[in-house]
Amino acid sequence: MEDHSRVDSNLLVNRLRTAERGALAALVSLQRNDGHFCGELEGDSILQSEYLLMKWAIGQERAPMVDGRAADEILGQISSYLRTQQRPDGGWGQYPGSAADLSSTVKGYFALKLAGDQANSPHMMRAAECVRAMGGAEHCNSFTNFYLAALGQIPWSAVPTIPPEVVYLPRWFGFHLSKVSAWSRTMILPLAIASALRPTREISPGLGIDELFLDQRERARLYRRSDGSRVWRGMFGAIDRALKIAERLGGSPWRSRAIADAFDWIMRRASQDHPAPTNGLGAIFPPMVYVQIVMYALGIDRDDPRVVRAETDLDAFFIEEGGMIHIQPCFSPVWDTGIALYAMNDCGLDAHNLSAARAASWLVRKECVFRGDWADNCTTETPGGGWFFEYENGWYPDCDDTAMVAMALIRTGGVAAQAAARRGVAWILAMQNDDGGWAAFDRTRDRPILECVPFADHNAMQDPSCPDITGRVLECLAWHGMRVGDTAVDRAIAYIKSTQESEGCFFGRWGVNYIYGTWQSVIGPIRCGVSQREPWIMQAGDWIRSIQQSDGAFGESADSYIDPSLKGKGVATASQTAWAAMILQAVFGDHDESLERALDWLAQTQLTASDAVDSTRNPDGDPPGSWCELEFTGTGFPRVFYLRYHLYRLYFPLMAIGRFLQARKIDAQRSQNGAVDSKATAAPLAGCVNAS
């Protein structure tokens, strides 16, 4: 790394105090009336294109929307936004700067053609050429083929067969629903019903996409993936062919009952009236779309309350701006509120602060004690007590949100908050996997065979342990007094160490990518008492130093999920610079030069009052005190789907700045008390002044 002049520490502290005040004011200005935070959650073009294709598949492209608005106007606004997402090369991609994605481009082209765009229009010709250059529409993934089959562009033989009888598989069976990821679980049964009923909307040939296929023979075949084990791929391909023969013969004698029971499974998890209410199946976009197609295929009238609810819940994801509509994949209020409160804690705020107290009170009310699907893999004595990601999703609390909320609540203080936090930790401990790590939604284990089934090309059929969630859980456990020597902590640390990359970094399953993974994987163990001088910790810190950019910032593109040589490389972002700064402080202490340079970059790039009214500096219209960040630094499914959390650019820099200033405050206090060397202990204690 190049030699750089050192930042003046005293000037930096003063600048960061100003930055902290500005960022806190910006954050509080975004707090909702009931105390929670919820920033926009931005995905890619498939949210628009799949919604449009779904409306055509169920014949609602012209029927009024559930709220009475004209469908052609609403779908026209969605189509307009979809056009803005097209790349100069004609394709659509997964995040800004990514290569064009075949399935995204096919869906974007098809949706716009249905919207009335002519195939000989320049933008459509570029899209078609892009598809052909990538091998043709016959190579689309299974989720895209589902829409193509529903609209008569390919036969259902090209879609993986999922018999609805899977609802009857015994628990010991390797493909029981409890063994796949929670998000796959909510998609499998809707797709299974559709696979059995095969609803097909016939459209005029002129609206079809024949021109996107290069090999018509392959058009009718299940796409043969080349990744993974050839043996297992071949075996599952043979099973799929056998299932298709069985489908042609009418399925099993229990087919009608299986469809009914599968639909009942879906409805119980999509009910607002259940003891575990939810805003739609899984409270996320894909299954909420599939459910509408399933209810259409079952012949349920559109004025049925279940259909009305399904439409209302999905359309709530709309964001209308500038005469266009784009769609969020879900809402993130518990996640945003937990992190925002934790950032406030790092700035020294607790229950005595009104904003922090209101956020904590809202989170306490969102505690989920219902025994949902997660209970299938736990003992009957395991109590509920976690938090989910969205506004309502009682069947699916997750370990990541629960850890985030539980450590924010214990630091904020208050009887109710601390009691809820302790229940959350008890639940988390029961969710620890046999390998010592934690997964997102279930107590589970790695089953690579599941990634070989034809349906698994979303690259996330399972939900095994990952180092980033495990590290956050350790950070949470540390705030609750658990340290090295506790069995759960020791097992988790051993798991994290086993996942370290040769360079010293860690994979980020839920954030982009190795910067995120290293941030979570290192700080938790240090907080639990692992020495910063342990070789594996030092190696992680040295890797972070090695990727720092010349101006002090950090950035990493999601391209690193595809090309490992791009680890830690990318456009500088506020959120990733904040993550790296927190690593540097935890490993090297708060007087580290690289840390000071990273924080100086954050101070210099913070939006001022004049920036806030400059659309080039502040295209999202954030308040002064925030940062501009257009890149996607959140991960849904690696290699498949990525996210831009619009609050990441605010609360993570605030968190990093707050930790630094609190550590410097502790240093000053120790110096006044005659401490000889505070640097050795400042790092693990940074931000811990509110421990209860």
Backbone phi, psi, residue 41, to 5°: -115, 110
DSSP structure string for 433-445: -TTS---SSSS--
The letter for the amino acid at 362 is W
Residue 278 structure tokens: 């939810």
Instruction: Catalytic residue, from 336, 400, 457, 590: name it.
Output: 400
Question: Among this protein's residues, is 622 annotated catalytic?
Answer: no
The letter for the amino acid at 570 is G
In whole angstroms, what is the distance from residue 390 CA to residue 397 CA? 9
Task: Say if CB 258 and CB 193 are below 8 A apart.
Answer: no
Q: Which residues contact 668 (CB under 8 A, 6 or more apart)?
A: none
Our CA angle for 599, 593, 11, nearest 5°, is 55
Beta strands 641-645 and 41-42, pairing class: antiparallel
For residue 319, give the H/E element and its range: strand 318-321
CA 65 to centroid of chain Cα atoms: 28
Nearest to 18 by CA among 609, 559, 644: 609
Q: Around Cβ 362, how many Cβ atoms within 10 Å? A: 19
In whole angstroms, what is the distance from residue 343 CA to residue 41 CA? 19
Most distant CA pair in the chain, distance: 85
Nearest to 280 by CA among 272, 267, 270, 265: 270
Cα 273 to Cα 262, 269, 366, distances in angstroms: 19, 10, 16
Backbone phi, psi, residue 533, to 5°: -90, 0
Cα-Cα end-to-end distance for the chain: 41
In whole angstroms, what is the distance from residue 525 CA to residue 344 CA? 22
Backbone phi, psi, residue 691, to 5°: -60, 135
In whole angstroms, what is the distance from residue 506 CA to residue 186 CA? 29
In whole angstroms, what is the distance from residue 112 CA to residue 118 CA? 9
DSSP structure string for 204-250: -GGGS-GGG-S-TTGGGS-----SS-HHHHHHHHHHHHHHHHHHHTT
CA 652 to centroid of chain Cα atoms: 16
Active site residues: 400
